Chains A and B, each alone.
Chain A
Amino acid sequence: MASGKKKILLIDDDAFLALAYKYALEQAGFEVSMLNDTASVLKKILEIMPDLVLLDLIIQPKNGFQVLKELKDEQKTHEIPVIVFSNLSQASDIEKVKALGAADYFVKGEDTKNEVAERIKCFFAPISGVQS
């Protein structure tokens, strides 16, 4: 039975960070799945069909840039919003992922877990507004 909660897929190979954010986002009312590598990322996304993907950039075997391009090139997944969640904070990295179609860019450790949850809630808020 569907929970009615927004589904987030968190793709990160750092187990501590991924679990810390998974539970924080669950406490904030989201349903969170995790992937710790990108070997079967497209298959997993098609299986879950998340409302949002949180994507690390430094991850293997495919890096986050490649995954983002793959998702945006695939017809079934290109509308799923992707927020990049990374250690990389250079303006050139941010420009590159936005050019590839990322909806937003969070720098790891810059915001608290509550701020991350709030930013994601705000991300969904305008969509709810349009629907209502």
Chain B
Amino acid sequence: MREPECTLLLVDDEAFFRGMMATKLRQLGYAICEAGNGEEALEQARALKPKLVIMDVLMPIMDGVAAFYKMKEDPFLKDVPVVFLSAYEDVQHNAGINEKIAKDIGALHCLNKAEEINTLCAKIDALRAEASR
């Protein structure tokens, strides 16, 4: 089990996917708070200062990359690690490139949202451990 204060913020406009991810991550021992777009994510992050933000890319009102750049401008949130989730078809080419770009802009990673949910959550768990070291 994680320490009780280990809160992850899960940001995705697809409620069904977000619910599945939240359930799986709770099973891994995390406390999960949720947001449905980038604007809500910023509000939640300011209120809770999570240990990690899992951020979808395409969302209404404010996309995930815009929310990420706003976090980086906010002294209170700039050090909160962010993992992006993005669906892409050309895994062979895009996975490596998106990881490089994520690191270049200051995020932890960009994972493929189309991956199997247990694999995705295991990767998030490993990234969270890496970020806390």
Q: Which residues of A does B touch, CB under 8 Å?
A: 14-17, 19-24, 58, 87, 108-109, 112-113
Contact = CB atoms under 8 A, between A and B. Distances in A.
Contacts of A14: 86, 88, 94, 97-98
Interface of B: 57-58, 63-66, 69, 84, 86, 88, 90, 93-94, 96-98, 100-102, 104-105, 110
A128 B73 CA distance: 32
Nearest to B105: A20
Contacts of B93: 58, 87
Given A15-B58, A112-B104, A113-B105, A23 B69 contact: yes
Q: Is the interface of B mostly helix, strand, loop or mixed?
A: helix
A15 B86 contact: yes
A108 B69 CA distance: 21
B57 A16 contact: yes
Given A16-B110, A20-B65, A23-B69, A108 B86 contact: no
Contacts of A113: 101, 104-105
A16 B84 contact: yes
B115 to A, nearest CB: 14
Nearest to B86: A16
Contacts of A87: 90, 93-94, 97
Given A14-B94, A87-B90, A109-B96, A20 B101 contact: yes
